[in-house]
A and B are shown apart, each in its own frame.
Chain A
Amino acid sequence: DQQVKQNSPSLSVQEGRISILNCDYTNSMFDYFLWYKKYPAEGPTFLISISSIKDKNEDGRFTVFLNKSAKHLSLHIVPSQPGDSAVYFCAARDAGKSTFGDGTTLTVKP
């Protein structure tokens, strides 16, 4: 049973537009959520996080939204840039253990 799901394997957007990456979870005990960005043949890099007591966290072009009632998390990137093209993983933490989604490949076209 997959506790963290990223239902869209891929997403393609035009440069300058908004990218919205989605993540759903089933475990109501998750208390902290993170987004990581990964380029091919490299390790993931931490991007942005949000505590379960908040519903929004913003850092520059990146905003993460949390809807606890829907058990849904989203990452907004605006404006999108070609350098944002990568695989994005959401992760959720419960009692110190992080569970990762399968990732969404974002392609930003010039």
Chain B
Amino acid sequence: DGGITQSPKYLFRKEGQNVTLSCEQNLNHDAMYWYRQDPGQGLRLIYYSQIVNDFQKGDIAEGYSVSREKKESFPLTVTSAQKNPTAFYLCASSRTRGETQYFGPGTRLLVL
């Protein structure tokens, strides 16, 4: 089945630690996205990538980094510079940028 997978489902971060969230898609989509959702709020764009080896900052990129070495994969690293990382993180992909986005199941990040 084609789809988007995210792992892990839950992730715990210690103070000062970098953690990496995985996102993989087998939909052959060119564009991939990372969003953050906080309680009672909508989705805010962290980073997006339109094509392999290219990515752009979204609205709230500070404290995050990404890579796009393969078309299928778009990992997100939450660095120690992100002071309020507790949130639900959603990865999405679309055939090209601007087309309908399809979302993964999400990763909940908690700080110990």
* Interface residue? B16 (CB, 8 A): no
Count of A-B contacts judged by CB separation below 8 Å: 49
Contact B42 A43 (CB under 8 A): no
- Of the four ranges (under 10, 10 to 19, 20 to 34, 35 or more), the interface on chain A belongs to 20 to 34
With contacts A43-B90, A97-B45 taken as known, whether A102 is within 8 angstroms of B97 at the C-beta atoms is no
* Interface residue? A81 (CB, 8 A): no
Q: Mark contacts of A86-98 with chain B using CB atoms, 8 A cut-off: 1 yes-contact digit, 0 otherwise.
A: 0001000101111
| Chain A interface main SS type | strand
- Which of B40, B41, B106 touches A43 (beta carbons < 8 Å)? B106
Residues of A in contact with B (beta carbons under 8 Å apart): 4, 9, 32, 34, 36, 41-46, 49, 89, 93, 95-98, 100-103
Residues of B in contact with A (beta carbons under 8 Å apart): 4, 6, 35, 40-45, 88, 90-92, 97-98, 100-106, 108
Contact B102 A102 (CB under 8 A): no
